[in-house]
Amino acid sequence: MAHTLNLVVLFSGKGSNLETLIERFHRKKIGEREVRVFAVTNRPNAGGIARARHYGIEPIVLDHTLFASREEFDEMLADTVASLRPDLVVMAGFMRILTPRFTERIEAINLHPSLLPLFRGTRAIEKSFKSGMKVGGVTVHRVTAELDSGEILDQACVKIEPIDTIESFTEKIHRVEHTLLPDVVERLLSSL
Ligand code: GAR
């Protein structure tokens, strides 16, 4: 029998992207293989925990504040992810800067709410909105030790209209994320 495809999703916040991945892939088949979604968070109070439980998935919580250093946390995170035998690791709103302790052991992809290489790091939606550009967007890229700089796998544009507010633009960004990320994940899982 074909083995399952293990999709490990790392998140820190409300988990709307985690939920779209669960809805699209958990217990569904890609070719002959069934996908199983695992969820890992660094925040014990992340909203995504309740969302995952709703689908019968109990997230693993690794509270980064309980570790003495960034490296120690990354080491434990890498051990935890590796123990799940992942076929694909996705960072969907995982708000931690990762050191080589993690990136040298685990291959992962990341969702970022701007058209990289523009607006790396935090508050990317706000930076795009305030930039004066008429377009922002969303990127899915490979994770490297250098923040938001790995190979770009796909991108989508989001128009910034004169009537947009930061709230309406943020909503448009999330809507686009919720199709772009699952589409990339499906492409990658299908190629395994
Ligand atoms: C998403 O907009 C994602 O692009 C962003 O966090 C949000 C998580 O939303 N990620 C980053 O900013 C990474 N630097 P969610 O918790 O509802 O999926």
The answer to whether 185 and 90 are in contact (CB under 8 A) is: yes
Q: Is the CB of 90 inside a 6 Å radius of any atom of ligand 1?
A: no
| pLDDT at position 3 | 86
Can you say how many angstroms the Cα of residue 106 is from the centroid of all Cα atoms in its chain? 14
Nearest CA-CA partner of 8 in 99, 101, 80: 80
Q: Can 112 be counted among the known catalytic residues?
A: yes
Average pLDDT estimate for 53-68: 97
The answer to whether 30 and 47 are in contact (CB under 8 A) is: no
Q: Is the CB of 141 inside a 6 Å radius of any atom of ligand 1?
A: no
Tell me which of 10, 16, 19 to substitute to probe ligand 1's pocket, judged by most ligand atoms within 8 Å of the beta carbon. Answer: 16
Average pLDDT estimate for 9-19: 98
Phi then psi for 152, rounded to 5 degrees? -80, 125
Can you say how many angstroms the Cα of residue 82 is from the centroid of all Cα atoms in its chain? 17
| Crossing angle between the packed helical segments 16-25 and 166-190, to the nearest 10 degrees | 30
Q: Is pLDDT of 1 > 90?
A: no
All domains in the chain, ordered by first residue: 5-111+139-153+181-190 (3.40.50.170)
pLDDT of 82-102, one tens digit each? Answer: 999 999 999 999 999 999 999
pLDDT of 107-129, one tens digit each? Answer: 999 999 999 999 999 999 999 99
Tell me which residue has its CA closest to atom 17 in ligand 1.
Answer: 16
Q: Is the CB of 112 inside a 6 Å radius of any atom of ligand 1?
A: yes
Tell me which of 167, 175, 177 to substitute to probe ligand 1's pocket, judged by most ligand atoms within 8 Å of the beta carbon. Answer: 177
Alpha carbon distance 18, 13 (integer Å): 10
